[in-house]
Amino acid sequence: MDPPHGKEACPGFFSNTVEESVKSLEAFMRLCVHKPPSPRDYYFFLGYNAIVPPHVREGLFSRKIENDDLLPRLSTPVLITHGQKDGIVLPATARQHAAAISQAKLSLYPNVAHAPFWEAAPRFNRELRAFAKSVARDGKKR
């Protein structure tokens, strides 16, 4: 059986009780990274997650709209960047989206979880910059 992921791994994620909410945010942050962050980064992450009210977190996780039927209709280039150790949005989702979008480029990051922009910042920035330049260049050709 797979370990719980997403909100199932973070009971109390929607709680208005401070202690329960912080405990849940700590579990959530463990899912966001493969390697533990420095204390400075940890408290920075905790701080910006703690200011999100529980009702907003609940709204994000309780969306009912699925747009998978729209993915094949996308005609613009799409870069899908995903950590292979992601415990929030499983890598299978990234693969599914890449397969459904003809213009998609999938970039998987080994030993990275939900935060490739932080855990692999140099690679993330390099790939995003190259992708943006390619889209701008291709757009000028049209």
The CATH number that applies at residue 104 is 3.40.50.1820
The one-letter code for the residue type at 119 is E
Shared domain for 74 and 136, answered yes or no, is yes
- pLDDT, one tens digit per residue, over 63-85 is 777 889 999 999 999 999 999 99
Rounded average pLDDT over 32-61 = 89
The boundaries of the domain holding residue 132 are 68-141
Q: Is the pLDDT of residue 55 over 70?
A: yes
C-alpha span between 50 and 11 (Å, rounded): 15
Q: Is the pLDDT of residue 1 over 50?
A: no
Please tell me the total count of domains within the chain. 2
- Give Cα 12 to chain centroid, integer Å: 20
C-alpha span between 70 and 56 (Å, rounded): 25
